[in-house]
Amino acid sequence: MIDENAVAIVLAAGLGTRMRSARPKVMHEVAGQAMLAHVLDAAREAGLGRHIVVTGPESDEVRSLAQGDQGQTSFVMQADRRGTGHAVLTARPAIAPEMRSVFILYGDTPLIRPETILAMQQGMEDADIVLLAFDPEDPTGYGRVVKDASGQVVAIREHADASEEERAISSCWSGLMAFSAASTLQLLDDLQPHNAQGELYLTEIVEIAHA
């Protein structure tokens, strides 16, 4: 099981615009329950007992999922949606000082399994930052996992910002990440919006940590 001094930050502020729906994206149902509910269930089954859910201003329906969870889930509002890094910065003040590990999960990934979260925890034994990567048939649109000649991960480059050489990389970031609170939370202060979207990307902390 996961260390009790671990917390999951669940990013759930998406509007669901592409779904053409007024409901928050994470509240759309898969297999009979909201996508966010599947993610929170997987986190609990893996042993992650504390969750910080980052919502947008339209959060009443999202907050209803936490009813009866005995205070395991807290919420913070990302009023200004300025990227994934900004979302985690918004959640940072809510992280209790005794937390040693932070898991970044996405509220719109209902197929995540507890075993995947546990595997990331095992990776934390040898690294300060753990990423979950995959190799799709078509990597278009995904962030690429950039490695040096030794195989060390040195950056995650979002598709819009990637060079032609980087776009040829098949290894892509899934969006899931875990990191040491002590060594990594402070790196969020170094995030800069120097990208095509003008946002703060969480992915940038990999490059900052490697520098």
Alpha-helix residue ranges (DSSP H) falling in the chain: 35-46, 60-63, 84-91, 114-123, 164-167, 181-184, 204-210
CA angle 55, 56, 62 (to 5 degrees): 50
CA angle 13, 41, 178 (to 5 degrees): 65
CA angle 62, 65, 71 (to 5 degrees): 115
Query: Who's near 31: CB < 8 A, 6+ residues apart?
Result: 38, 110
18 is catalytic: yes
92's tokens: 């940072």
- Among the listed residues 18, 92, 113, 157, the single catalytic one is 18
Q: Is 164 exposed, middle or buried (0-12, 13-18, 19+ CB in 10 A)?
A: exposed
The set of catalytic residues is 18
